[in-house]
Chain A
Amino acid sequence: MLNVTGDLPGDSWGIFTFLCAALCNLPALPALNCSEELGAGQSIQQTYDLTRYLEHQLRTLAGTYLNYLGPPFNEPDFNPPRLARAERVPSATVDLDLWRGLTDNARLAANYRAYSRLLCYLRVLDGQVGTAELRHRLAHFCASLQGLVLSIGGVMSSLGYPLPAGPAGPPAGPPGAPPAPNDFLKKMDDFWLLKELQTWLWRSAKDFNRLKKKVPPAVVTLRLEARGF
C-alpha cells in the first residue's frame, strides 16, 4: 500500500516523495492494479445487483404506498399529465443518442445525483406518512437507497472520478421545493416521485450493463491531481 506519512513540506517535495514511494512499490503495483480493476468491476456488478434488488423492493413499497394514497393513484391505468411542479424530481428520460454517447463519468454522475436527490425526497415522505407499516417499509427502502448512493460513489472513486457536488447527505428538506398547496397535489407529487424512482432503477440497470462492459483496463493510478499533496 502506498503510504505517504507526515506533513509534506511543499508541493514539489510532496510529489518527489510520492514518486519515490511509488517506485519503491512498483513491483507490487501490477497486483495492486489488478485488484483495483477487479475492484471496480466487482463494484459495478454489485451496484447493478443493488439496483435490481431495489427495483424489486420498490414494487412492493409502491403498491402499498399507492393503496395508502387511495384512488385514482392506485389504479393501474392512472395516467395523469405531467404537471410543471413535478419537474423538480430528476427525470431519467433522455434522448437515445445522448444516452448512448454519455461518458462513463457522466453516466455515473447522473445516477449519483439523481439518487441523492430522490433519497432526500423520500426521507421527507418518510416523515409524513401515516401508518407504521409504511414508515417501516420506507425506512428500509431509504437505507437500501443510501447504500446504492454510496455504492455508486465507490465505483466513481475506484475509477478515479470526482464525486458530484451537492447534497449527498440528508439535508433538512428537498432543495428549493415549494410545498404542495393542497392534499391532492401533494399526493400527485408522491405519485410522480415513485414513478421517477422506478424509471431510474430501470435506467440504472441499463447504465450499469454498459459500464460493466467498459471497465477500463489496468490503469496505473498515479494520479497527481490536487489532493492536498
Chain B
Amino acid sequence: MCWSLKELIPPEPVQKQPVVAWGSAESGGKEGAKIPDLSSEGWSSSQKNPLDVYENLGTPQGLWTGGEMANPVPSACCMVLAAVVVVYAQRHSQPDSHTQFERVGADVTMKCGSMDWDAAVTWTVNGTDIDESHLNGSYLILKNVDLSQSGQYSCYEGSAWHLKYQTTLKVGTPPREPVLMCRSNNYPKGFYCSWHLPTPTYIPNTFNISVIHGTKEMVCEKDAVPKNRCHIRYLQLFSTVKYKVTLTVTNALGKNYTTVTFDEFAIVKPDPPESVVAKPVPNNPRRLEVSWQNPSSWPDPESFPLKFFLRYRPLILDQWQHVELSDGTSHTITDAYAGKEYIIQVAAKDNDIGTWSDWSVAVHATPWTEEPKHLTTEAQITETTSASTSSFMAPPTTKICDKGAVVGSGAVAVCWTAGLVVAAYSVLFI
C-alpha cells in the first residue's frame, strides 16, 4: 500500500512549498488527477490508481484525500513518511555521483552542482584541497588536463562543509584504429579473430565485431579467455567468397574501426608442432634423431595433412640448416658436427594452403660421442649415404677414414669396424 518513496521525492531544484496539500479541492479536480469520487466508488477505486492520486504533488491544487476514507490509517502513515523523507531531502540533499570523461589536453570546467557562480565553495581532489587560483568563482577550471589529474573531485559549501557536488574525472583519449588479426589454426573447423589497441585509452572501451560472408552475417562467439578474441565455425568449405571482418571500438570520447577481408585459404596457419624431442643415436657421432607431434589444435591431420620444416644449427654457429619434410613426424640429422650441442626447431604448414606456423619450442641435443680412449684426435667417419639435406654451409673438413690414413695403430681398426657398422645401418634403414 505504501508506494516507493522515489516517486514522492521531487526533482531538484528543491522548492520550498508544501508537497502534500491538504486544501479543499473540488471534487473532480484537475483532469487526469482522477480524484476518487469516494462517495460513490469507495476506496477500492483509489487503490487501483495510486500513482494518479499522487501525480500532482507539488502543485497548488493538491489532492483531496480527506473525507470518507475506507482505510485511512495506512495511507496516513505513508503520507507522513513521505513528508519526512522529502523534508530531509530538502535539508540534506545528497549529491548524485557523477563520472565525466575528458580528453587529454582539454580544458575542463566543473560547476559545483546547482550553486551560484558567486557562492563560496571549496574544491578538493581525492581529499586534498585545491588552491583557489584554480577557481573562477565557484567553478573549478582545469586547463590542459593530463592523466595524473584523474580522480574524485568534490565541492563543499562555505564554512559548513556541506558536500554539494561530487564527480569522478577520468582523463583519457578516444580510441585509435584497432589492430585486428584473423587466423585459422584448426582448419577446416573454423577461425578466430583477435584484436588490441595500439595505444591505451586509459578509459573503458567496448569492442564490437561483425563478420560478413557474402550476403550472410555470421556470429563470432567471444572467448572468455583470452578476452580480446572470438571464434567462428565454417559453415561451408572451399568458398570463393571472401570473409569481411569489422571491429569497432567505442569509448566515452569517440570510436574507431578497422576491417580485414580475406579468403578462407589465406588465413590458414597451424600452431607449431608439439613435443619436439631430439636424441643422439648410439654409436653414431654425427646423427641426431628428431621427432615431434602434430599440433593438438589441428583437428584432422588425415584429410588435411601437414608438412614440416626443420631447422638446426650448432650453438656456436649462427647459420641454420633447413630440411623440408612432406610427411612423417620424425627425421634423422646425419651431418651434425661431432660433440657439438645443437639447437633444433620445427614448423608446420598445411600441405597445400596457408602459411607456415611459428617455430616450435627449441630443443637441445648433442650427438653421441665415444668415451675418449686417447688424448689424440678422434677419428671421424664420413657418412657415405645422406638424406635430402640442403646445406648452406661448406661441408665440414673431416678426416676421411680409409686405408691410407695414418692416425694411429688403434684408430684404423676402429675406423674399419665403424665403417662396417655404418654400412649395415644404411642398408637396413635407408
Contact = CB atoms under 8 A, between A and B. Distances in A.
B261 A77 contact: yes
A205 interface: yes
A52 interface: yes
21 contacts: A79-B241, A79-B242, A79-B244, A82-B214, A82-B240, A82-B241, A93-B239, A95-B236, A96-B235, A96-B236, A192-B240, A195-B240, A200-B238, A202-B353, A206-B238, A206-B303, A209-B303, A209-B305, A210-B303, A213-B302, A213-B303
Contacts of B304: 206, 209
Nearest to A86: B240
Contacts of A192: 240
A199 B239 CA distance: 7
B187 to A, nearest CB: 10
Interface in A73-102: 77, 79, 81-82, 91-96, 99-100
Given A93-B240, A96-B236, A213-B303, 9 more contacts: A79-B241, A81-B214, A82-B214, A93-B238, A96-B188, A96-B234, A99-B238, A199-B239, A199-B240
Between B235, B261, B303, the greatest number of chain A beta carbons within 10 A of the residue's beta carbon is seen for B303
Interface of A: 52, 55, 77, 79, 81-82, 91-96, 99-100, 192, 195-196, 199-200, 202-203, 205-206, 209-210, 213
Contact of A91 (B188, B240, B303, B351): B240
Interface residues of B, number: 22
B215 interface: yes
Contacts of B215: 81
A94 B239 CA distance: 8
Contacts of B214: 81-82
Contacts of B261: 77, 79
A95 B265 contact: no
Nearest to A92: B238
Main secondary structure, interface of A, reads helix
B237 interface: yes
B244 A203 contact: no
Between B234, B236, B239, B304, the greatest number of chain A beta carbons within 10 A of the residue's beta carbon is seen for B236
A196 to B, nearest CB: 6
Contact of A199 (B235, B238, B244, B352): B238
A213 B351 CA distance: 14
A158 to B, nearest CB: 22
A205 B352 CA distance: 7
Between A79, A195, A202, A209, the greatest number of chain B beta carbons within 10 A of the residue's beta carbon is seen for A79
Contact of B237 (A94, A200, A213): A94
B235 A95 contact: yes
Interface string B75-98: 000000000000000000000000
Between B238, B244, B302, the greatest number of chain A beta carbons within 10 A of the residue's beta carbon is seen for B238
Contacts of B352: 52, 55, 202, 205-206, 209
B235 to A, nearest CB: 7
Contacts of B242: 79
B304 to A, nearest CB: 7
Contacts of B351: 205, 209
A94 B236 contact: yes
B240 A92 contact: yes
A196 B353 contact: no
A93 B236 contact: yes
A205 B239 CA distance: 15
A57 to B, nearest CB: 15
B240 A202 contact: no
A191 B361 CA distance: 43
Contacts of A210: 302-303
Interface in B180-225: 188, 214-215
A21 to B, nearest CB: 40
A72 to B, nearest CB: 14
A120 B241 CA distance: 23
A127 to B, nearest CB: 25
Interface string B231-256: 00011111111101000000000000
Nearest to B244: A79
A213 B215 CA distance: 37
Interface in B279-328: 302-305
B87 to A, nearest CB: 68
Contacts of B237: 93-96, 99, 203
Nearest to B265: A202
Contact of A100 (B303, B305, B353): B303
A52 B235 CA distance: 26
Q: Which 10 A-B pairs have the closest CB atoms?
A: A205-B352, A92-B238, A203-B238, A79-B242, A195-B240, A199-B240, A93-B239, A96-B237, A210-B303, A93-B236
Contacts of A52: 352
A119 B158 CA distance: 90
A192 B352 CA distance: 22
A190 to B, nearest CB: 14
Nearest to A205: B352
Contacts of B238: 92-94, 99, 199-200, 202-203, 206
A100 B352 CA distance: 18
A195 B241 CA distance: 9
A181 B265 CA distance: 33
A52 B351 CA distance: 10
A100 B189 CA distance: 12
Contacts of A95: 235-237
A114 to B, nearest CB: 11
